Amino acid sequence: MDMKSLTAARCNLLAAALDDFTSRREVVGVFLGGSLAADTADAYSDVDLRVVVTADSHARFVEQRREIPKRWPGFLFNEWLPGTQHCVSHFRPFGKIDIFYYNANVVRPSPWLGLPTKVLFDPQGVIADLIDRSRVLRFTVSEDDVDVSISKGLAAAHEAYRRAKRGELFYAHTLLDELRQHVIQADDWLWNRAPDAALIAKVDVRVSDPVRTALAASYPPAL
C-alpha cells in the first residue's frame, strides 16, 4: 500500500474522532498514547486514543463504544470484548483506532500515564495535571509476578512437549508461543524496560541479542 495514503487516511480518521469527541460537553479531555505520542509511528501504526469523560456519562460512552466509530468515514468493523472499557475499530484502507474511555472521577495517576502522551484536548487542564503526577511513578515487579511468569513458562514448555509427543502439533505451537512471551517478559524485566507496548510488539528491535537469537531458533523452517 502507498505509505503516504495510509498516513493521510490515519490523520483524517484521528481528525474525525477528535471533532466528534470535542463536540460533546461530557468529554473532559482527549489524549494520544503509543507510537503516535512517542513520535515513533510509521505508516502502519494505529491510533491509541484515550478519552476522559464525566462520571455520569462514562457508563453510556462505554455502552456506545461500538457505535461511536461507525459515524466516522471508512468504518469497517469493531473488535471488542464484553466487560471492557475500550474498543478497537478498523477503517479503510488499513486504519485502526484503539479507544479507551476513562471516568474523570475514577482515573488516577499511573505509571502507564507517565509513558509518552500527546494531549489533544484539555480545556480544564485535567489531563496535563494527571500526566504530570504520573511521570514520577515507576513500574514495579513483585516476587509473585516473577513466580507466576516462571511457573507459567515452564508449564507451557512441559505441556508443549506432551502435546507434540501426542502429535497435537497445532496446540503445541500455541504453547510454544506462550513460552516465548514469558521469555520476552523476563528479558524486559531484566533490562528494566517499561511495558510501553504489547508484550510481543517490536520484539525484534528491543530484546537482548541472546534472546533474539534463541527466539529465532525456536521457529521451525518454513515448508
| Cross-strand bridge partners of residue 29 | 52
Look-up of cell digits 493521510: 8
pTM of the full structure: 0.87
Per-residue pLDDT of the chain (223 residues; tens, 9 = 90+): 789 999 999 999 999 999 999 999 999 999 999 999 999 899 999 999 999 999 999 999 999 999 999 999 999 999 998 989 999 999 999 999 999 999 999 999 999 999 899 999 999 999 999 999 999 998 889 999 999 999 999 999 999 999 999 999 999 999 999 999 999 999 999 998 876 666 677 888 889 999 999 999 988 775 5
Residue ranges and CATH numbers for the domains of the chain are 3-134 (3.30.460.10), 143-217 (no CATH)
Angle at alpha carbon of residue 105, lines to 101 and 109, rounded to 5°: 80
Neighbour tally for 130: CB within 10 Å: 23
Handedness of CA 62, 197, 79, 17 (dihedral sign): positive
